[in-house]
Amino acid sequence: MTTPKILITGATGKTGSRILTRLSDMSIPARAASRGSDIPFDWEAPETWPAALDGIETVYVSYFPDLAVPGAVDTIAAFCDAAKAAGVRHLILLSGRGETHAKECEDLVRESGLIYTLLRCAWFSQNFSEGYLRDPMMAGVIALPAGDTCEALVDVEDIVDVAIAALTEEGHENQLYEITGPRLMHFAQVAAELSRAANRPVTYTPLTLEQFRAGMAEAAGPFIADVITHVCSEALDGRNEWLGDGVQRALGRAPRDFADFCNHAARMGVWRDAA
């Protein structure tokens, strides 16, 4: 068996799981990194990192819970050091737009001395089909602390396409890709698109950050509530109301539209009621 030269952290997440599947389809060996993988990897347990990094040249870095949270900067700094010590050459970092700590993590990767590719992404469209917004959407109400802010929702498949290119092709070294969808959408428009595709009523209700956190804490617990509320406080205040060109630059094509995501998700049956 060929020894993997690629490590995929966040192997069970939205992007990591898809990247592993794509690499497998391409017959490119890769090592999955998660708490439950054959070689366990835990962001909170640095002693697990050396075994996961052994023999690896390129790492896809998807930090859990989010680069925006306090503590991420110190962890990414330590991981960069561990990667260099292990002989890693290239880090591909999944990052988020407008997040203060995420930008600090990007700077650490840039300054690490390693080859880097930064994937700075908008909100995932898939949050409505396989993430924390699916259940509220199925209940008919998307309630977010977004006011009248617009967001350029991005299809995870586009992020994965860019990541695969960076993992398998030359020309993406030391690049920052601003990865967004092709249009800015108010969340009332998002709700309307979801309603049309899913053939069920969906509306948007703006909340304060305090209201949002209280609802999230009840549904998912205080830790998740704190993480998501912190991300919302930075990402949904208007600073991200612009379109990136990362998909176009990396892949030479336009990004997928939110309507296309909705139509595909509906065809796959992700919004059907359980029998």
Distances in Å between the alpha carbon of 30 and those of 39, 53, 88? 12, 11, 14
- Is the pLDDT at 246 greater than 50? The verdict is yes
- Residue 4: give the domain boundaries: 1-121
- DSSP, residue by residue, 91-124: EEEEEETT-HHHHHHHHHHHTTSSEEEEEEE--B
pLDDT for residue 274: 56
pTM: 0.96
What pLDDT does residue 70 have?
Answer: 84
pLDDT digits (tens, 9 = 90+) for 51-76: 999 999 999 999 999 998 889 999 99
Structure token digits, residue 189: 């428009």
Could you report the per-residue pLDDT of 111-167, keeping only the tens digit for each? 999 999 999 999 999 999 998 899 999 999 999 999 999 999 999 999 999 999 999
Same domain? For 141 and 97 the reply is no
Residues 16 and 60 in one domain: yes
Is 100 in the same domain as 9?
yes
Domain presence at residue 246: no
Judge if 234 and 130 occupy the same domain: yes
CATH number at residue 9: 3.40.50.720
CB 110 within 8 A of CB 118: yes
Q: Are residues 138 and 60 in the same domain?
A: no
Q: Is residue 160 part of a domain?
A: no
Q: How far is CA 51 from CA 2, 115, 166, 216, 225, in A?
A: 17, 21, 24, 36, 32
**One domain, residues 151 and 237:** yes
pLDDT band at 275 (very low <50, low <70, confident <90, very high): very low
Q: Which residues have CB under 8 Å from 131's CB, separation 6+?
A: 14, 124
d(CA 151, CA 123): 7
pLDDT at residue 97 tops 50: yes
What are the Cα distances from residue 203, in Å, to 124, 131, 139, 142, 171?
19, 18, 10, 6, 43
